[in-house]
Structure 1
Amino acid sequence: MAIVDRIEASIGRALEIPQGGLAPAALAEALPYAVLPGGARIRPTILMSVALACGDDRPELSDAAAAALELIHCASLVHDDLPCFDDAGLRRGKPSVHCAYSQPLAVLTGDSLIILAFEVLARAGEDGRTMRLIRALARRTGMPNGICAGQGWESEPQIDLGAYHRSKTAALFIAATEMGAIAAGHDGEAWNDLGALIGEAFQVADDLRDALMGEEALGKPGGQDALHGRPNAVAELGVKGAFDRLNDILAGAISSIPSCPGEAALAQMVRMQSQRIVPRMPARYRA
Structure 2
Amino acid sequence: MDIHQRIDTAIMATLARGQGGLAAPRQLSEALVYACTPGGARIRPTILVSVALACGDDQPAATDAAATALELIHCASLVHDDLPCFDDADLRRGKPTVHKAYSEPLAVLTGDSLIVMAFETLARVAPKAPDRVAPLVTALARRTGMPHGICAGQGWESEPEIDLDAYHLSKTGALFIAATQMGALAAGQEAEPWYELGARIGAAFQVADDLRDALGSEASLGKPAHQDELHNRPNAVRELGVDGAVRRLGDILSGAIASIPSCPGEASLAHMVRMQAERLTPGLNPVRV
Give the shorter-chain TM-score range. over 0.9
Q: Which amino acid aligns with 1:10?
A: A
Does residue 147 (structure 1) correspond to residue 143 (structure 2)? The answer is no
Deviations 1:174-232, CA, capped at 9 Å, x for gaps:
00000000000000111000000000000000000000000010000100000000112
Q: Secondary structure at the match of 2:143?
A: helix
Match of 2:101 in 1: 100
Does residue 168 (structure 1) correspond to residue 171 (structure 2)? The answer is yes
Does residue 183 (structure 1) correspond to residue 186 (structure 2)? The answer is yes
- Structure 2: gaps (5+ residues): none
Does residue 209 (structure 1) correspond to residue 183 (structure 2)? The answer is no
Deviations 1:115-150, CA, capped at 9 Å, x for gaps:
000000000115121110000000000000000000
Question: Which one is further off, 8-17 or 255-264?
Answer: 8-17
* Contact 1:208–1:279 under 8 Å retained in 2: no
Which residue of 223, 231, 237 corresponds with 1:228?
231
Q: How far off its partner does 1:276 sit? A: 0.4
Equivalences for residues 17-96 of structure 1 within 5 A: 17-19=17-19, 20-96=21-97
Q: How far off its partner does 1:279 sit? A: 4.2
User: How many residues end up aligned between the 2 structures?
Assistant: 282
CA distance in structure 2 between the aligned counterparts of 1:178 and 1:251, rounded to whole angstroms = 20
Q: How far off its partner does 1:21 sit? A: 4.4
Deviations 1:204-262, CA, capped at 9 Å, x for gaps:
00000000000010000100000000112112212111111000000000000000000
- Structure 1: gaps (5+ residues): 283-287
Q: Which amino acid aligns with 2:67?
A: A
TM-score, scaled to structure 2? 0.96
CA distance in structure 2 between the aligned counterparts of 1:84 and 1:240, rounded to whole angstroms = 34
Deviations 1:23-42, CA, capped at 9 Å, x for gaps:
11111110000001111100
Identify if the C-alpha distance between structure 1 residues 117 and 261 changes in structure 2 by more than 3 Å, giving closer, same or farther.
Answer: same
Deviations 1:72-103, CA, capped at 9 Å, x for gaps:
00000001111111111000000000000001
CA distance in structure 1 between the aligned counterparts of 2:174 and 2:18, rounded to whole angstroms = 26
* Contact 1:170–1:195 under 8 Å retained in 2: yes
CA distance in structure 2 between the aligned counterparts of 1:99 and 1:41, rounded to whole angstroms = 23
Q: Which amino acid aligns with 1:112?
A: S
Match of 2:246 in 1: 243
Does residue 120 (structure 1) correspond to residue 117 (structure 2)? The answer is no
Q: Which amino acid aligns with 1:239?
A: V
RMSD across aligned C-alpha pairs, in angstroms? Answer: 1.1
Q: How far off its partner does 1:151 sit? A: 0.2
Question: Which one is further off, 157-166 or 229-238?
Answer: 229-238
TM-score, scaled to structure 1? 0.97
Match of 1:9 in 2: 9
* Contact 1:44–1:176 under 8 Å retained in 2: yes
Q: Secondary structure at the match of 1:141?
A: coil
